[in-house]
C-alpha cells in the first residue's frame, strides 16, 4: 500500500530526514517512534502532501504521489492539537470531509451519527468545539478523519495533549478501531508504551534515520543499539571494555566483569555498549551498593551509579545487594540491515 522510498528533507540547511524508506501493508499499523525533534512529524507532513521532500518518492498502491496535492490524497490525519474548526459545530466538523466529496446530505447524516456512536459521543452533534474536553475533542478529530473513509490513517502524537486517564481509554479505543477498520495506519509518537500497544511494526527514528525496525517483541528482545535500548527502557546501558581470556569473551564495566555471548568478533580492549537486563534466570551475578531508594508500589527501585534495579525486599541505604542479570552486546558499530 504505502511505500516511502529514500526520502530526504532538510530545514534551514540542516538535514532533518536522511534516506528514509519503509512500507505499510494492508491493515497494518506502523508506529514511528522518536524523540521530539527527530523529524517524525515532518515525515507525516511529507506523506500528507503538506510539505515536499527534497528527494525520494512516496507511492500509494504503486502510484507516485509527487503530483497529488494534499486534498486529493485521500489520507486521514489526526493531530496532537486536534485542529478542529472552531467556527463549526461537532456535526459540521465531522461532515467536512464528506462535504468535500459532495456526498448527499442523507449519507452524510448517517455516516456522522454512526461515527459519533463509534467514538462514544452520541448526541454531541450540535455542541461547540470549545465546550469539549481534550479527550472529547480528540475523539471528534478521529471521527472527522475517519468519516471520508481514507485510504490511510495518520496520527501525529494524538494522545500527547491528554492526561493519563483519557490517554489510556482513548488508546484502547484506538486499538480496537484500527483492528476493526483494517485501514493501514501510520502512528507517530514519542511514547514507547503507545507504540507497544498499537504497533504491528515499530520504526525507531533517531537523528533523521530509522535505526531499528521490527515488531515490538523483536525490538524488546534485541534492541541492537544503545539508543534503542534506552528509548524502550529495556534495561541499563553501560559502556565497557572487551577482555579476551582464552575462548571466553568478557566485558569489564564499572558494575563488574561479565561473560558476553556475542555473534560478532571483538578485539581486546575494544569499547562496547552493553545492556544489563535484570532477570531472575540471568547467567551473570551483579553486586551493588544502594545509593538511593525509591518506593514503587510492589517493589523498590534501587539506584547505583546511574543504573536502576528493582528489588522486592526493602534494602538499607548503603547496603550491598546481589542480583541476577543478563548482559547483551549492543553492537552499534556493526553493520545492520532493515
Residue ranges in 301-320 that form contacts with another protein under rule CB under 8 A? none
CA 104 to chain CA centroid, nearest Å: 38
- For residue 74, state whether it binds another protein (rule: CB under 8 A): yes
Calpha distance 262→333 (Å, rounded): 14
Q: How far is the CB of 336 from another protein (least distance, A)?
A: 34
CB burial readout 58-75, b (16+ within 10 A) else e:
bebeeeebeeeeeeebeb
Q: In what order do the strands lie in the sheet with 14-24?
A: 14-24, 2-11, 55-60, 63-64
Q: How far is the CB of 335 from another protein (least distance, A)?
A: 37
39 contacts 45 by C-beta, under 8 angstroms = no
- For residue 148, state whether it binds another protein (rule: CB under 8 A): yes
Calpha distance 25→243 (Å, rounded): 45
- Choose, by CB under 8 A, the member of 108, 132, 140, 145 that binds another protein: 145
Residue ranges in 82-111 that form contacts with another protein under rule CB under 8 A? 82-87, 96-97, 100-101
- Choose, by CB under 8 A, the member of 4, 34, 43, 49 that binds another protein: 49
- For residue 50, state whether it binds another protein (rule: CB under 8 A): yes
- DSSP state letters, 184-206: -EEEEES-HHHHHHH-SEEEEEE
Nearer to another protein, 154 or 171 (CB): 154
- Choose, by CB under 8 A, the member of 7, 77, 170, 183 that binds another protein: 77
- For residue 76, state whether it binds another protein (rule: CB under 8 A): yes
Binding site for another protein (CB under 8 A): 45, 48-52, 67-77, 79, 81-87, 96-97, 100-101, 141, 144-145, 148
Amino acid at each position: 500500500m504505502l511505500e516511502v522510498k529514500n526520502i530526504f528533507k532538510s530545514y534551514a540547511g540542516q538535514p532533518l530526514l536522511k534516506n528514509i524508506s519503509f512500507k505499510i501493508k494492508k491493515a497494518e499499523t506502523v508506529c514511528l517512534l522518536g524523540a521530539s525533534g527527530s523529524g517524525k512529524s515532518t515525515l507525516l507532513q511529507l506523506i500528507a502532501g503538506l510539505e515536499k521532500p527534497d528527494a525520494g518518492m512516496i507511492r500509494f498502491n504503486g502510484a507516485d504521489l509527487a503530483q497529488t496535492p494534499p486534498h486529493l490524497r485521500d489520507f486521514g490525519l489526526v493531530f496532537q492539537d486536534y485542529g478542529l474548526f472552531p467556527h463549526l459545530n461537532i456535526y459540521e466538523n465531522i461532515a467536512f470531509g464528506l462535504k468535500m466529496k459532495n456526498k448527499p446530505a442523507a449519507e452524510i447524516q448517517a455516516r456522522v451519527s454512526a461515527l459519533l456512536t463509534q467514538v462514544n459521543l452520541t448526541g454531541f452533534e450540535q455542541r461547540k468545539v470549545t465546550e469539549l474536553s481534550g479527550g472529547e475533542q480528540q475523539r471528534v478529530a478521529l471521527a472527522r478523519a475517519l468519516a471520508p473513509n481514507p485510504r490511510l490513517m495518520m496520527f501525529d502524537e494524538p494522545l500527547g495533549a491528554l492526561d493519563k486517564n483519557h490517554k489510556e481509554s482513548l488508546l484502547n479505543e484506538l486499538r480496537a478501531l484500527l483492528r476493526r477498520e483494517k485501514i493501514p495506519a501510520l502512528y507517530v509518537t514519542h511514547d514507547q508504551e503507545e507504540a507497544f500497544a498499537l504497533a504491528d511494526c515499530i520504526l525507531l527514528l533517531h537523528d533523521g534515520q530509522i535505526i531499528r525496525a521490527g515488531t515490538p517483541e523483536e525490538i524488546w528482545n534485541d534492541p541492537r543499539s544503545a539508543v534503542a535500548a534506552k528509548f524502550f527502557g529495556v534495561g541499563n546501558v553501560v559502556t565497557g571494555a572487551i577482555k579476551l581470556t582464552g575462548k571466553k569473551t568478557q566485558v569489564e564495566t564499572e558494575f563488574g566483569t561479565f561473560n558476553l555471548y556475542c555473534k560478532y568478533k571483538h578485539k581486546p580492549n575494544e569499547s562496547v555498549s552493553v545492556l544489563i537486563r535484570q532477570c531472575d534466570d540471568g547467567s551473570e551475578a551483579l553486586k551493588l551498593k544502594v545509593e538511593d531508594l525509591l518506593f514503587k508500589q510492589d517493589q523498590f527501585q534501587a539506584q547505583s551509579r546511574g543504573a536502576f534495579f528493582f528489588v522486592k525486599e526493602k534494602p538499607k541505604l548503603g547496603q550491598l545487594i546481589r542480583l541476577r542479570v543478563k548482559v547483551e552486546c549492543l553492537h552499534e558499530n556493526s553493520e545492520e540491515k532493515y
